[in-house]
């Protein structure tokens, strides 16, 4: 039998996007999935639309303004039964009809791999597709497996939350658990990525445009953005500190397979190699080096020569 995928979805007053999201999931060629929606007490058309799709398992209860999104995802996870977990907000959806099948095929064939991810594309509130995120990955893909660690330590890159497919046990272990002392309680996206990489799990990148992420003026997103920005800054500091700890020998980094078994570690003699790789990725993946000439000229016109030079030096400082 094909393994079950659980698509877990938070929802609050985004009913105008709901049909697009559900239909993009129903359009997948891989049919052994369940969709679970935890709604925060929507007062728009959301509930009426959910009732029109009997395959969806859903619940709706009024949430408080300060309810952490971690709690919503955890509730959806507890309702799920799937061997593999995919997150998909109500407003986002899938562009590649083979995406679920692609993820399952890779995870079933390679027990070392815990997660599969692809490329996301931006979408406007009106439904127009826009910028492709990480287009450079199509010609210069990021390393898979244990080779991803130095790139992560150099950049803090996080897997696109709208398309990655992860083993259930790994999701449960790495996704924040809505505990008051967890600094990622209100920004579980970064909490999952940090815990995943520190635990030593391995991922595979697939060069496909897997999903779209819709930009819209949702009040919950807007109100939570200032707090999320603080946590983002903290996340990048923690990644840098963990990298320094590995390089100076105060942290022992182990690698795990998809069953959470230790399969290797960063040895003492590897540290010089990792230091070089981290430095290389800092420059290779810096926005400064990946900015096209047209965009640079626009910046010069916008800030002037002296302002543009200051901007360049500030970016270099952040890289280093």
Mean pLDDT lowest among 21-30, 138-147, 176-185, 294-303:
294-303
**What value does the mean pLDDT take over residues 100-126?**
97
Q: How far is CA 97 from each of CA 33, 101, 210, 211, rounded to the nearest angstrom? A: 13, 9, 8, 10
User: What pLDDT, on a 0 to 100 scale, did the predictor assign at position 319?
Assistant: 46
Question: What is the residue-wise DSSP string for 254-311?
Answer: EEE-TTS-EEEE--GGGHHHHHHHHHHHHHHT-TTTT--HHHHHHHHHHHHHHHHHHH
Q: What is the pLDDT of residues 95-107, one digit of tens each?
A: 999 999 999 999 9
**Residue 222's pLDDT band (cuts 50, 70, 90):** low
Model confidence band, residue 67 (pLDDT cutoffs 50, 70, 90): confident
Above 60 in pLDDT, residue 44?
A: yes
> What does the DSSP 8-state code read for residue 92?
B
* Tokens 């390393």 belong to residue: 143
Number of Cβ within 10 Å of residue 315's Cβ equals 15
Nearest partner of 208 among 137, 128, 114, 106, judged by Cα: 137
Q: How is domain 5-241 classified at the architecture level of CATH?
A: Alpha-Beta Complex (3.90)
pLDDT tens-digit readout, 122-169: 999 999 999 999 998 998 999 999 999 999 999 999 999 999 999 999
Q: How confident is the model at residue 289, as a pLDDT?
A: 45
Query: Taking 70 as the threshold, does the pLDDT of residue 291 lie above it?
Result: no
């Amino acid at each position: 039998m094909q393994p079950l995928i659980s698509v877990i979805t938070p929802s609050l007053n985004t009913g105008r996007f709901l049909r697009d999201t559900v239909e993009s999931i129903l359009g997948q060629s891989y049919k052994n999935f369940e969709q679970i929606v935890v709604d925060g007490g929507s007062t728009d058309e959301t509930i009426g639309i959910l009732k029109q799709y009997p395959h969806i398992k859903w619940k709706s209860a009024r949430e408080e303004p300060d309810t952490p999104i971690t709690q919503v995802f955890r509730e959806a996870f507890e309702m799920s039964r799937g061997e593999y977990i995919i997150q998909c907000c109500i407003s986002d959806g899938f562009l590649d009809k083979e995406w679920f099948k692609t993820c399952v095929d890779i995870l079933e064939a390679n027990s070392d791999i815990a997660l599969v991810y692809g490329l996301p594309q931006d979408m406007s509130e009106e439904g127009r597709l826009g910028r492709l995120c990480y287009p450079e990955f199509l010609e210069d893909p990021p390393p898979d497996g244990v080779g991803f660690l130095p790139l992560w330590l150099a950049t803090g890159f996080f897997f696109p939350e709208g398309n990655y497919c992860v083993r259930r046990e790994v999701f449960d272990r790495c996704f924040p658990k809505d505990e008051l002392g967890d600094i990622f309680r209100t920004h579980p996206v970064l909490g999952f990525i940090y815990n995943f990489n520190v635990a030593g799990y391995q991922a595979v990148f697939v060069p496909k445009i897997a999903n779209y992420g819709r930009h819209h003026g949702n009040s919950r997103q807007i109100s939570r953005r200032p707090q999320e920005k603080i946590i983002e800054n903290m996340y990048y500091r923690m990644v840098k500190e963990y990298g320094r700890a590995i390089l100076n020998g105060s942290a022992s980094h182990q690698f795990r397979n998809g069953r959470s078994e230790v399969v290797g570690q960063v040895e003492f003699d590897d540290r010089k190699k990792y230091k070089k790789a981290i430095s290389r990725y800092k420059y290779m993946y810096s926005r400064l080096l990946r900015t096209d000439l047209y965009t640079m000229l626009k910046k010069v016109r916008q800030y002037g020569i002296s302002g543009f030079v200051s901007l360049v030096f500030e970016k270099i400082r952040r890289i280093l």
